[in-house]
Amino acid sequence: MSLEIKIPAVGESITSGLLSVWHKNDGDAVQAGDALVTLETDKVSTEITAEKAGVLRVKVPAGTEVKIGEVVGAIEPAEAGAAPAPAKSAEQVHDDKSDAKQTREHVEPPAPVMPKTPAVSMPKQASSDVEHSARPSISEAVAAANVSLAVVSENAVAPVSEGRITRKKLSPLRRKIAQQLVMAQHTAAILTTFNECDMSAVMKLRSSQQEAFTKEHGVKLGFMSFFIKATVSALKAVPAINGRMDGEDFVQNHYFDVGVAVGTERGLVVPVIRDADQKSFAQIERDLADYANKAREGKIKIEDLQGGVFTISNGGIYGSLLSTPILNPPQSGILGMHKIQERPIAEKGQVVIRPMMYLALSYDHRVVDGKEAVTFLIRVKECIENPARLLLDL
């Protein structure tokens, strides 16, 4: 008896999606657990796997919009007397995944990198913690597009050549990002203020304590935990930024859930570190590592990406020296981090070389005044330049 392949529910607000690519062909033998098809929605990208072994029958081609619960294929039992397909070795499984990836890349090349986007990883000379990195480029766009938007995957419909141009249909996720970016520009009074910080103290502390920290807690000490802690301190000092507009009302948040972007092979996700004010550096680093692992394995859930009160973006991973991040509605602020670069600065009447980073805060001027925005950014700067403030909660 055949088993129908139905589109599963992937979130309360999601009613449809796009079948971006079938990983198996019609008539292929499949094993339980094999990835069959990728479903793209305006929030997440997810793979539908085989529930049992058999022969795949494709009923709906790739590139088709489908509804939740719709039957898109079936798994028929193998012919009587036919030998079951042998279990795949680890190398074969790896090869299959590589082939599938190459196929998806051939079907639709990735979109060009956007100039501004959230992410969180430090430049190469500053950090090698790839797990904790938040790739910017698309990240600020994703964060700005309400980071309940998850994996940025461009596996939609095969492009159609029209002579001197090529036309392709945007994925549901990319369409949602576009809508959110335009909405952010039209509904908020976005303004950006800038400052810079000397990374010397954090880099020295991290280098001197890395071995002991890793041995004690089982995770590396990255730069992101410092910026999350500094952000929490600044949000406490300037409560208006930890709030949002709701019609004609202002809603003040009394919790500190900070969104941080994490890069994956398939794209960008921006999970939320819950109650960051109550967590230690080690707990934050564990959360970042866990999210990075879940993102690489495609196990990020929608609830992991929702509810943030503030977003952190880092364009420095791609070498961005300065940018103006876009707000992540309905949040009132987003912090932009950038490349760490040695620069000459004046210190006590002397010219010295220091590892400097430009910081940018984009904020909603409807609820945040310029003085408050500058105060917020100065607090972040002070915490990074004197990390003892974070340990003493100053």
Asked if residue 286 has pLDDT above 90, the reply is: yes
- Note the pLDDT of residue 173: 65
Report if residue 114 sits inside a domain: no
Q: Which of 107, 138, 164 is the last residue of a domain?
A: 107
Q: Which of 72, 107, 142 is the last residue of a domain?
A: 107
Q: 390 in helix, strand or coil?
A: helix
Q: What are the two backbone dihedrals, phi and then psi, of residue 265, each rounded to the nearest 5 degrees? A: -65, -30
- Note the pLDDT of residue 265: 61
- Residue tagged active-site, from 28, 277, 290, 365: 365
99/158 same-domain check: no
90/218 same-domain check: no
pLDDT grade for 194, boundaries at 50, 70 and 90: very high
Full domain range(s) for residue 284: 130-391
Q: Which residue has the higher pLDDT, 376 or 23?
A: 376
Report if residue 165 sits inside a domain: yes
Report the C-alpha gap between 227 and 330 in whole angstroms.
21
Report if residue 40 sits inside a domain: yes
Strand partners, 244: 251
Q: Which of 92, 107, 122 is the last residue of a domain?
A: 107
Stretch (H or E) spanning 205: helix 200-217
223/79 same-domain check: no
Q: Helix crossing, 281-296 with 224-237: angle to 10°?
A: 120
73/144 same-domain check: no
Report if residue 119 sits inside a domain: no
63/148 same-domain check: no
90/136 same-domain check: no
Q: What are the two backbone dihedrals, phi and then psi, of residue 39, each rounded to the nearest 5 degrees? A: -105, 125
- Note the pLDDT of residue 203: 95
- Residue tagged active-site, from 26, 99, 275, 369: 369
Report the C-alpha gap between 239 and 354 in whole angstroms.
32
Asked if residue 107 has pLDDT above 70, the reply is: no
Report if residue 244 sits inside a domain: yes
Q: Please state whether 265 falls in left (phi above 0), alpha (psi between -120 and 50) or beta.
A: alpha
Most trustworthy range by pLDDT among 73-87, 142-156, 190-204: 190-204
Q: What is the CATH number of the domain that holds 379?
A: 3.30.559.10
Residue 23 annotated as catalytic = no
Report the C-alpha gap between 26 and 29 in whole angstroms.
9
Report if residue 181 sits inside a domain: yes
Residue 365 annotated as catalytic = yes
pLDDT grade for 15, boundaries at 50, 70 and 90: confident
Q: How many separate domains does the chain show?
A: 2
58/198 same-domain check: no
208/253 same-domain check: yes
Report if residue 179 sits inside a domain: yes
Under a CB-based contact definition with an 8 Å cutoff, are residues 14 and 150 in contact?
A: no
Q: Which residue has the higher pLDDT, 117 or 337?
A: 337
- Note the pLDDT of residue 205: 94
Q: For residue range 143-183, list pLDDT tens digits in order.
A: 333 333 333 344 445 667 778 899 887 766 677 777 777 88
Q: What is the CATH number of the domain that holds 71?
A: 2.40.50.100
52/138 same-domain check: no
Query: What does the buried/exposed string (b/e) look like for 158-186 if buried means 16 or more CB atoms within 10 Å of the residue's CB?
Result: eeeeeeeeeebbebbbbebbeebbebbee
pTM of the model: 0.65
Q: Quick one: 34 exposed, middle or buried, by C-beta within 10 A (0-12, 13-18, 19+)?
A: buried
Q: How does strand 272-273 pair with strand 258-260?
A: antiparallel
352/212 same-domain check: yes
89/167 same-domain check: no
* Helix-strand-coil split of the chain, %, nearest 5: 30, 25, 40
18/137 same-domain check: no
- Note the pLDDT of residue 103: 38
Of 105-119, 324-338, 366-380, where does mean pLDDT reach its minimum?
A: 105-119
Report if residue 116 sits inside a domain: no
